[in-house]
Structure 1
Amino acid sequence: MDTNMQESVPILVSYLNSLADINPSWSCQNDAHQKYHSNTFSNLLGHEYSTTKNLEIQRSNNIEKPLFHEISNPTAHGSLKIEYSPTFGRYLVASRDIDAGDVVFREKPLVLAPKAGTGPTCLRCLKFLEDAWEVVTGVELPCARQLARVVGILLTNARSSPDWDSETARTCLSLKCSTCCTPLRTLLLLKNNPAAAEVVAALQSNKEVRRKLQIGHYIEEHVVGTLQKRLNLDVKSDVVHHICGVFDTNAFEVSVDDSRRGRALFPLGAIMNHSCLPNTQHWFRDGVLIVRAVTDIAAGESITNTYTPMLLGTRGRAAHLAATKLFRCACKRCLDPTELGSHVSSVLCRSCSRSDRSFVVPPDGALKDWQCLECQNRMPDVAVETMMRAANSTRSRVPLHDLEALRVTSDHLRMMLGKRHYITLEVRYALMNAIMRQPLRDIKDDDLDIAVEISGDLLEIASIIDPGFSRFRGLVLLARIRASTEKLKRSCDNAPLCNGTSHKSELGRVMQEDEEEEEDKELTEMDDATPRQKAQMLLREAAECEFILQYDPKMEEALATTNQLRSFLNDS
């Protein structure tokens, strides 16, 4: 590890202390605000496109006050402290016990920009601009006007090119603009705010390793070259490589809604250790990163985040981490060929009679045979990899909104890999979402059954590889509750009981039952429960769902589902 990483710990601790204003449990002294005034083109550009002008997206580099308060004797605050080790570098540690569901910390982005390579995006609200090229050639639209002004220098030369009207030329220029936006914005921040420059310099970039890789050559040609030659900026190649490395290593993908996405740099969030079984998850809401504990975290325990998708097998996660973060994970999930008994990387054994529960598990190294845990049958690694590439290709071609195609592909992959394999799980998750995306009244009874079945399987897997109050669990619970409530409603509508009343009338009395008595009852599985027990289980699941998704855009849907269920139960 670079020895400078240990030396930079005080800088990051000072930054940690500066976050007291958005973390109510912390306290920190307040220094006088400093003002910065400049009329240079670069600084005016930075001010013009500061996302603090948009109430929905906020950045920390507001030029009306310093990035953070200078503290002479930095100390840890609240629930956190920063420690250093030669193995992990700088990392966050809980300084007290943290309960599952507690907010660990909040943080505003140091830099916020469109994702590299996403094409024309508004620099103010992050909206993707479908008609951007009409705008930059003369048509005025509010969002796209921002993009047109920023890339004006590039466009001056591009429009004179004989192939300017070709779609390929415009696409290449669009990608170059979005790729250069992040380093350009960061350079403006560093110039205007020395304190921010110290924090960015303290973050890990792996620039020396990356310079030797293909990504390093790309940055030198397309980012450094563009900034120096096209924009005539006096910037050092080493600084640009560091900035790009910091973002590729540390940045978070953030979304304001389905049409506005970007990536942001959160220095405190960046030093959370990685784990494929993280004890926190994060949300980006109202311009602030909110990090919550999904499981109980003991004092002295590392605060962890995951850098990889949860529904991804061990080899896929390892390849992602090696390519983007330049390290290898050694968590207990990665070291277990069965992935803690979830078998999301295992494939079905075709030789066993118990084919639905007989798994051929991956070896502990590449090019070794896979082996069935039941019959000891072996499969060559190359054969399994070929099968998985074919499965991945099939999955990638399926439109996520095509219900019938998802249904056929799901059945195919279940026969090919098994229903627990991560590729099958991805398609089944998409199938469940496609079913529940329809108006409830339009969903067929069989599809409701499928949605409930898939949600049960996904919750079982999540309890192993994504335990606690995770967002994935919340989203699957929401789908399960909506589907189960609709099934219950249909089964109870106008269904007479022996005494001439209806099931709906009987269910209406659920809310009046003695709560203490109900707490002592051992509820059966949903399929075997009475209507009253089903309603009780759904309400409990709804309460958990709301607790998990309280910072999520899906919270409104969760509340509406609970209200619908309560209204149905009380409608006697």
Structure 2
Amino acid sequence: MDSGEQRRVTVLERCLGSLAAVSPAPPPLQEKVEASNFSERLQLNYCPTKHSEILRSLQPQEQPAFAAAREDEEAAVEIHWTPAFGRYLVAARDIAAGEVVFREAPLVVGPKAGAGATCLACLKALPGDTWEGCEHCGAPLCRPQCGGKGHNERECGLLALLGLKHEPQNTSRIRQLNALLAPLRVLLLMERTPAVKSIVDALQSHVEERRDLPIGRFVETHIVAVLRERLRLAFAAEEIRRVCGVCDTNSYQVSEGEGKVGRALFVAASLMNHSCTANTQHWYRDGIMSVRAVVDIPEGAPVTYAYTNVLWGTRARAAHLATAKLFTCGCERCGDPTELGSHISSVKCRECPQGLMLPPSVAGAPWQCRACGASVSAIAIDTLVRAGGAALGRLQPEDARSVAATLAHLTRILGDTHYVVVEVKHVLVRAIMATSLLDITQVDLERVLDLTSDLLRLADRLQPGLTKIRGLLLLERSRALAELLRRCNTGAEGDTAAHLEAKTCNIPGSATLLQNLTEDLAKCEAILLYDSRLSEVTEVKQRLETLQPVIKTKLLSKETKKINVTNKITGDSSRHVSIGGN
């Protein structure tokens, strides 16, 4: 490691040492923790002579607080460096699944670069032309007194020079604003808090690699020129290019619910390497990111995060990584044409009923079915996938009937496992379950059970562990099952209980539907411990508690009747039957 790289590592270690990593209690029991502004903490804690500290993690059962790490507590992660991977986080000890590895406030938060009109103060998406611009600069706000902290006086004075005051609904200027806002906020933070400059300079920017690419030309025209010439910022052009690279390379998408989505720049989180089967995921709540282990992470293993949607196919993931992150992933999944047996990139064979056309190892080569040997040109397959993607883009996610029709059509074309079809399955589950439960038909509720079962099997292969997708799928499945059981309780659906028992109780070791549902809710609660939808898990558990005694009685009665009929035929004496639960 050369002296420049050693200096950057030292800066980042000091930055990590200024953070306190804790595991919050699950909301809504959690008291809101008031964290000081991250830049203020840097200003107070950053010192060139400060002894380097390692970020620590507290166990989930400990009380939430922004407390200093204890001297006797074993470090959770540390920074390593190699020529191949650069700087990255490694587990300094065994980290258990479910443990929060660290929590972190962002340096800056701003709208997504490609988003439409977004409130600069709170990041709420603004529909159509119904929003009002800031009375001083004309930039988008959800209301004049939003209360969000994103838009300040200094920023407002600069944005006034963009001319939005006179045409606040100008779509092209809004998109230009969203692209430059995160870099602008980083530059203003560096101006206000000089210690931040050392942190930003230590982060990866790919500034040289980006220079001659389309993104480099976009930055030059739409950000560097605008910030220097129209907003009259005194920062050097190269400094702005570097900050743009840091934002694009290291930012995370964050969401606070209620349509509030943006991108945020974190320091510790930016040090996690990518993996297509990552061992952490993050939750963002009340302005704090919690990074959590989704599987056990052994000491010495890299602490990883997926930079792409892991339910995309390999070529889609590779294209995103090459364009946005400027590297190629060489993991086991990326080298496996079946993608760990999921066949999420495979396309249905037209020649045989069960065959799948697998992606070739060489780009542009024909795709071949392993079942019958038939081959199809890469151009033909690309055309099919593009058509599927176009159909996905035209979906009306609130119209479950239309989504179901699209799913049936794309399944016939691409097969049941392709990632475009998988995404439509997700959309259909959300579309059905977005309706009031009372208005969903039994057929659609049972369709949700089938779809979530398929998607959960896929998640087991591609996103094992305590992952969000698993938690959210279990939640929708549990909501559907609880509603079907409620109808059984009221007698509205006849033999629903017995039907569901036969339909869902096929897992070895699980005795009954009620046991399955109780176990699913427990898993769901553990996974969504830091998620905004945790309250929905609690609601389903409460509904189940009121239904459980009656459902048990009905199932027991039905089983007893069957036994009595058998006894009359065989002459056997009656016996006790236990139907699930305790």
Relative to the length of structure 2, the TM-score reads: 0.81
**Contact map agreement 1:132 1:144 (CA 8 A) in 2:** no
Once residues 392 and 101 of structure 1 are traced to their aligned partners in structure 2, the CA distance between those partners, rounded to angstroms, is 35
Q: 1:395 to 1:122 in 2, by over 3 A?
A: closer
- Secondary structure at the aligned position of 1:290 is classed as strand
Q: 1:154 to 1:480 in 2, by over 3 A?
A: closer
Corresponding position: 1:299 with 2:331:
no
* Residue aligning to 1:95: 92
* Residue aligning to 1:422: 419
Corresponding position: 1:142 with 2:121:
no
Task: For 1:313-352, list aligned pairs within 5 A.
Answer: 313-352=313-352
* Residue aligning to 2:76: 79
- Secondary structure at the aligned position of 2:183 is classed as helix
Once residues 67 and 410 of structure 1 are traced to their aligned partners in structure 2, the CA distance between those partners, rounded to angstroms, is 54
Paired residues in the alignment total 514
* Residue aligning to 2:179: 179
What is the identity, as a one-letter code, of the residue corresponding to 2:101?
A: V
What is the identity, as a one-letter code, of the residue corresponding to 2:163?
A: A
Among 530, 549, 562, the residue aligned to 2:528:
549
* Residue aligning to 1:366: 363
* Residue aligning to 2:544: 565
- Greater shift, 246-255 or 171-180, is seen at 171-180
* Residue aligning to 1:114: 111
- Secondary structure at the aligned position of 2:233 is classed as coil
What is the identity, as a one-letter code, of the residue corresponding to 1:540?
A: E
CA shift digits 1:400-427 (9 cap, x unpaired): 1111110100001111111111100100
- Secondary structure at the aligned position of 1:66 is classed as helix
* Residue aligning to 1:32: none
Once residues 277 and 159 of structure 1 are traced to their aligned partners in structure 2, the CA distance between those partners, rounded to angstroms, is 43
Q: 1:76 to 1:352 in 2, by over 3 A?
A: same
* Residue aligning to 2:202: 202
CA shift digits 1:443-489 (9 cap, x unpaired): 00110111100000000000001111100000001111111222233
What is the identity, as a one-letter code, of the residue corresponding to 1:158?
A: G
- Secondary structure at the aligned position of 1:342 is classed as coil
What is the identity, as a one-letter code, of the residue corresponding to 1:366?
A: A
* Residue aligning to 1:238: 238
**Contact map agreement 2:487 2:493 (CA 8 A) in 1:** no
Q: 1:440 to 1:243 in 2, by over 3 A?
A: same
Once residues 157 and 327 of structure 1 are traced to their aligned partners in structure 2, the CA distance between those partners, rounded to angstroms, is 35
**Contact map agreement 2:23 2:100 (CA 8 A) in 1:** no
* Residue aligning to 2:63: none
Among 447, 458, 462, the residue aligned to 1:461:
458
- Greater shift, 254-263 or 436-445, is seen at 254-263
CA shift digits 1:345-382 (9 cap, x unpaired): 001112224x2xx2111001111111112112111111
**CA positional deviation for 1:175:** 2.2
CA shift digits 1:478-534 (9 cap, x unpaired): 11111122223323434999xxxx999x9xxxxxxxxxxxxxxxx997255999710
Q: 1:75 to 1:562 in 2, by over 3 A?
A: same
* Residue aligning to 1:51: none
- Secondary structure at the aligned position of 1:13 is classed as helix
Relative to the length of structure 1, the TM-score reads: 0.83
* Residue aligning to 1:286: 286
**Contact map agreement 1:280 1:303 (CA 8 A) in 2:** yes
Once residues 493 and 198 of structure 2 are traced to their aligned partners in structure 1, the CA distance between those partners, rounded to angstroms, is 72
Task: For 1:153-552, list aligned pairs within 5 A.
Answer: 153-155=158-160, 158=163, 170-353=170-353, 355=354, 358-494=355-491, 526-527=504-505, 533-552=512-531
- Greater shift, 339-348 or 254-263, is seen at 254-263
**Contact map agreement 1:275 1:304 (CA 8 A) in 2:** yes
What is the identity, as a one-letter code, of the residue corresponding to 1:339?
A: E
Query: Structure 1: any 5+ residue segments left out of the alignment?
Result: 26-53, 507-522
Once residues 152 and 195 of structure 2 are traced to their aligned partners in structure 1, the CA distance between those partners, rounded to angstroms, is 31
Percent of aligned pairs sharing the same letter: 39
